[in-house]
Every structure is written in structure tokens, then in C-alpha cells.
Amino acid sequence: MKISQNIKVAVDAVVFGYQQKELSVLLIKRGVNPFKGSWALPGGLVLENESLEDAVERELREETGVTIDYLEQLYTFGTPGRDPRNRVVAVTYFGLVSPNHFKISANTDADEVQWFPIHKLPELAFDHATILDTGLKRLQNKINYQPIGFELLNNEFPFSDLENLYQTILNQKIDRRNFRKKILSFGILTETNKIHQPSSGRPAKLFKFNAQKYKELEESGFHFEIKFA
């Protein structure tokens, strides 16, 4: 059977950040049709002689000014009609960054770029709401088999910041005593001799990630059953 095919390949990126105790996602305001003036995930078509990974890194750099050391493939979206211009199959990627490590800037097809709290999202173009929801579920599931935080927290942080990060991602209160005991048992945190003095409340010791142990657990995976309050 003769097959006639005219399919374009695109990449889109779901980039999560964490700041001021809120989980955020990086969005761009489209400067071209379709959906001109609407918010969307960063992304675009793959060039002829470009790998998927190079394409998503280029689109992020051009549209947002953000560079990420690690992006993992999330899912492929190819429902006919998802793009009104052409039949487009989008290979999506998922990444975590600390927003204060970057100065975001829009360029090429993007008029604006902005971090949006996950609970205050604008209406998104194309099927990007579905893509974003898929990325959030991946992040929430990922917590159970891979340590989270190295990319999102400051180099040194009070333990409460890690607790708040997990509670924010899961949108649920955790059993703090059980959480602390389990996290410390993995050996991924090193206690420093520094003290954090909050504006209110008691002083707290600062921790940092043990990069070598963290990497070992990332590569081998771990099972972390989180108990909720």
C-alpha cells in the first residue's frame, strides 16, 4: 500500500521551577499565528539536520534564555488537528531548574516569557494544557523513585525548604517526622555548620546536597514511600 505522508516534527518543553514556596512553569506568549498573543510552552519545529535534544535546547535558549543541563523525554503527542496549520507530532521534554539561576528573555517567536505559579495558569494554546498536566503527573510520580530538589533549591537550605518543596509538588501535607527520617537515611544531605535565621520562628541548621550520593541515587533509582499527615 502506497503511503502519502506530510508530517512535521516539533519539540515542546515543560520546565518547572520553585520559588517563594510555589511550583511554577515557564511559559511564552506567542508572537505569531496561530494563537498569537496566547501563552504556550516553549518549543517549535525540529530543523532538518538537528537532533530532538538539540532542537529542544535551542528552542528554550531562543525563546526563554534558559539553558538546562538535563531534560528527559516526557511523551509524544500526535493527535490529528492539534495544530491548525499542519499535521504536527510533538515530542515533549520535562526539566527542573531554579528560576533565580536565570535571567529569562523572550526572542524569535516569543513576545514575552514568564514564570507562572502552577495554580494560577492562563489559558494555554494548542494542547499544551494536556502536555503540562502530563508533566506535572510525571513530576509527582518521580518523587517516589528519584530524589528531587538538587535542581530546585539553593545550594544551602534549611530542611524545612525540602519539606515545603515536596508538599508543594504533591499539593498535600506530609508526615514531617517520617519524611525527615527517611531522607536523612539516604545520605544525600550533608549538614553544614551554618545556621538559618528566619524572620520569624526558630533558627535552623543549613543542609546541602551530597552531589556524589545524589547522583548515585538518581542513576540507580530509589523507592521512597511518602506518608501523609
Question: Is 112 one of the catalytic residues?
Answer: yes
**What integer pLDDT is reported at residue 80 of this predicted model?**
94
In a domain, 228, yes or no: no
State which of 111, 142, 173 marks the end of a domain. Answer: 142
What are the two backbone dihedrals, phi and then psi, of residue 210, each rounded to the nearest 5 degrees?
-80, 100
**Residue 149 belongs to some domain of the structure:** no
Considering the candidates 112, 151, 216, 218, report the single residue annotated as catalytic: 112
In 3D space, the residue among 90, 80, 172 whose CA is nearest the CA of residue 134 turns out to be 90
Q: Domain for residue 227, yes or no? A: no
Query: Are residues 133 and 169 located together in one domain of the fold?
Result: no
Count CB atoms within 10 A of the CB of residue 32: 11
Residues 65 and 177 in one domain: no
Residue 137 shares a structural domain with residue 199: no
Q: Is residue 226 part of a domain?
A: no
Boundary-marking domain end, from 93, 111, 142? 142
CA separation, residue 80 to residues 43, 87, 126, 128 (Å): 18, 6, 12, 15
Q: Are residues 68 and 119 in the same domain?
A: yes
The boundaries of the domain holding residue 25 are 7-142
- Supply the pLDDT for residue 1: 76
Residues 25 and 131 in one domain: yes
210 assigned to some structural domain: yes
In this structure, the answer to whether residues 30 and 124 fall within a common structural domain is yes
Q: What pLDDT, on a 0 to 100 scale, did the predictor assign at position 202?
A: 82
Task: Count how many Cα atoms sit within 13 Å of the Cα of residue 79 in the half-sphere of its side chain.
Answer: 8
The answer as to whether 147 is a domain residue is: no
The reply to whether 77 and 133 lie within a common domain is yes
Give the whole-angstrom CA distance, residue 180 versus residue 229. Answer: 13
Q: How many domains are there within the chain?
A: 2
Query: What per-residue confidence (pLDDT) applies to 39?
Result: 98
Q: How far apart are CA 157 and CA 190, in angstroms?
A: 11
Specify if 201 maps to a domain: yes
List average pLDDT for each run of 10 residues in the chain, which is 229 residues long: 88 94 95 96 96 96 90 96 95 93 89 96 98 96 87 91 94 93 93 85 89 87 83
79 in the same domain as 134: yes
CA-nearest of 156, 148, 155, 149 to 206 is 156
CATH number of the domain to which 199 belongs: 1.10.10.10
Same domain, 121 and 200: no
Final residue of a structural domain among 115, 142, 169: 142
**Residue 62 CB neighbour total at 10 angstroms:** 16
Q: What is the CATH number of the domain that holds 115?
A: 3.90.79.10
Does a structural domain hold residue 2? no
